Amino acid sequence: MSQTEIIKTPWVLVSVLKENIQEKDLSRITPQIKNLIDEWHSAGKIMWSGPFDDNKTAMTVFEATEQEAKNLLSKYGDACSGVLECYMYKWDAMPVLSLLSKN
C-alpha cells in the first residue's frame, strides 16, 4: 500500500470590519477568535496574523490542506458573523511556514 502525500499550501485569510461595528461587537467575537487560534497552535500548526494600519483590516497567513483551510474559514466565519467580512485566498508563494515548522 502506498502512502498518499498530504499537500499543504499557504493560505491568506483577510478580515474586514463591517460598517457601524461597536466595541461590544468586537468584545463578543474576540474570545471565539482566540480559541480558534489556540486550537490551531495546539495542533502544532503555525499561523501568522496582524492588523493593517487602517484599523479595519487584518490578515492571517497559515499553511494547511485545502480541507483544513475550508474548515478554518467556516469556523472563523461563524465566530465573526455580523462583525467581520472574511475572505480566503490560496497564496502561491514559497511555503515559508513549512520551512519554519521543520526547524
Structural domains of the chain, ranges and CATH numbers in brackets: 10-93 (3.30.70.1060)
Which strand ranges, in their side-by-side order, compose the sheet holding 9-17? 47-51, 57-64, 9-17, 84-90
Q: What is the pLDDT of residues 6-23, one digit of tens each?
A: 888 899 999 999 999 998
Q: What is the pLDDT of residues 49-92, one digit of tens each?
A: 999 999 899 999 999 999 999 999 999 999 998 999 999 999 87
> What count of other Cβ atoms lies within 10 Å of the Cβ of residue 78?
11
- In the DSSP assignment, the letter for residue 6 is P
Q: What is the pLDDT of residue 94?
A: 55
Question: Beta strands of 22-75 (E only): which ranges?
Answer: 47-51, 57-64
Helix (H, G, I), strand (E, B) or coil at 91: coil
Model-level pTM?
0.80
